Amino acid sequence: MRRRVWSSAVVLALFATLVPSVSAQAAGERRAGPLPLERLFDNTAVSYNARPSGADFDGSGASLSAQDLAAAGWTPGRTLTVQGARLTWPKRQPGEPDNVRARGQDVRVRGRGDALAFLVAGTAGTDVGGTGTVVYADGTRSGYSLTAPDWRTGPLATKAVALPHINTPGGQLAERARLYVMTVPLAVGREVASVRLPHALGLHVFALAVRAATPGWTGSWATATGGYPAVGPWADRTLRLVVHTSVGGPRVRLRFDNTFAAEPVRIGSATVAVQEAGAAAQGTPVPVSFRGTAGVEIPAGAQAYSDPLRFDVPADTNLLVSFHLPRTVPAAPVHRLAQQRSYVSGPGDHTADGSAASYGTVLTSWPLLTGVDVGGGPGSVVLLGDSITDGDKSTMDANRRWPNVLATRLLNQGVVPHYGVLNQGISGNRVVMDRYPGDGVSTDTAGVSALYRFDRDVLAQTSARTVVVFEGVNDVRWGTTAEQVIAGLRAIADRGHARGLRMLAATILPCEGEVRCTAAADAERVKVNQWIRSGPGFDGVLDFDAVVRDPARPTRMLPAYDSGDHLHPGDAGLAALAESVDLRGLVR
């Protein structure tokens, strides 16, 4: 065969004809600029059960079930609020492209806020991620890292929603499909103009949005969901929950969370009132609305905020939050250890009742309700903890948890801002291990790990300014090493710092005498406390160990502070913890 030899002149001529076309194409792409995400959809994830071949999410023909998504309340075009971010499930029919495979595309996104939220899933069989860029309206940029857990093997504890089936060409599999909401920090105060996605094979993006900041609101009360137990069942019942404010304000809004759920929950109506006594209100309870209507349906894994309501919320006071459940609710997201009696009515909508006559059943947990915000104020301190923060062994109905005492101290001084105090303690919670697996009905309500719940229970809280992390005793009592606890605490501190929060850590209390507080467990506790006191990860230390330990025997609590179980302080010990806090250290 005769070999063709190209002259240099011919090569240069060919190159000259190619370069302008490539440059013109690149210039055209540059002129086009960032596009809305839906115009970039290049993958189909959702199929009808009867036509599973209509989608191929993972490259092997598997897909999400449209029927399962609808049963969870995730219908085409529906906007869902997850971790405080409003994300719209793609308005596409099954079999149509509904997500983007992340390959460096520029996406048009607008808004100001503290974080960028992505609704994502991976299809690589493991976590998949990469780095991207946020472009702001003023021309500045910031980088971010995004990792998506796998849609079939990722942790259920951090999922936004889990679906019961996976569609395949060979038939439907009874296997959990997961979708995740992941957030990354934004530059404070800058308006986002566009986002460049990572180059990450197998990372799929269904939606993204700026999580709006919450100027004009302060978190006054909050609680953390610890599990999804069987309840009632409640059908056509009204729940009247008693909650205690920290700061007050002239407006109020409520937050309800359908965390860990597999199906939507319907709230038919809701009211708020100041408590007179028990289930009785001062005056007539005032109705709240949800986007102008009396009730709201909350999809699985999502949350709902009520509309702002002009209502004078007193500081340091019990409120009654009442809501009617018109449909049968056999299981619900719950904070188990309320240390506060609430109430359940007989049949009917009794949200407007001022009297206690209809509320014949006592409830000692807080289902569904997770937050009360008030208008104005300087922001909030979030206390991430376990049963000691939760108030275990404090006096029922007396609001003597250490977060309550701290809130009263903040109200009664004029040196630092009157921050709200948000108690995110969960009895039994751990830093690095899940007690509740994060999915399904369970009798365990000790929550997912502090690492896994940090985004929801801290970063997404209204107007968070400072965080106190007070966990670890349950880890060491159950065999977790000091090194593992320290790694978890360090990761939590890093994530808080990335969002501009002031991060404080409290040392772990001694607990000799409790059955699991062995000498070996105490040795690990001491190592964790040494690391906390050394100050490499946090902005400040609350040395609670030094406050309550017996000087004559530092491995145990002072008897005067011990509730009697040797693990939890009683009212006096909890007050001592709160009184020991240098309030100036809470200021960012």
Burial class (CB in 10 A: 0-12, 13-18, 19+), 412: exposed
How confident is the model at residue 32, as a pLDDT? 65
Please write the tens of the pLDDT for every residue from 433-446. Answer: 999 999 999 999 99
How confident is the model at residue 2, as a pLDDT? 33
For 13, residues 6+ apart whose C-beta sits below 8 A from its C-beta are none
Share of the chain above pLDDT 90, in %: 93
Please write the tens of the pLDDT for every residue from 380-394. Answer: 999 999 999 999 999
Report the 10 Å Cβ neighbour count for 343.
22
Question: In whole angstroms, what is the distance from residue 135 CA to residue 298 CA?
Answer: 33
Q: What is the CA radius of gyration of the chain?
A: 26
Helix or strand holding residue 296 (H, E): strand 296-298
How confident is the model at residue 535, as a pLDDT? 79
How confident is the model at residue 3, as a pLDDT? 34
Query: What letters, b where the CB count within 10 A reaches 16 and e where it falls short, cover 369-397?
Result: bbbbbbbebebbbbbbbbbbbbbbbbeee
Question: In whole angstroms, what is the distance from residue 117 CA to residue 205 CA?
Answer: 11
CB 249 within 8 Å of CB 313: yes
Where the chain has pLDDT below 50, the residues are 1-31
Question: How much is the mean pLDDT over the chain?
Answer: 94
The vertex-564 CA angle with 563 and 565, nearest 5°, equals: 100
How confident is the model at residue 333, as a pLDDT? 98
How confident is the model at residue 489, as a pLDDT? 98
How confident is the model at residue 215, as a pLDDT? 86
How confident is the model at residue 436, as a pLDDT? 98
Share of the chain above pLDDT 70, in %: 95
Cis omega before residue 20 (within 30°)? no
For 515, residues 6+ apart whose C-beta sits below 8 A from its C-beta are none
Please write the tens of the pLDDT for every residue from 132-143. Answer: 999 999 999 999
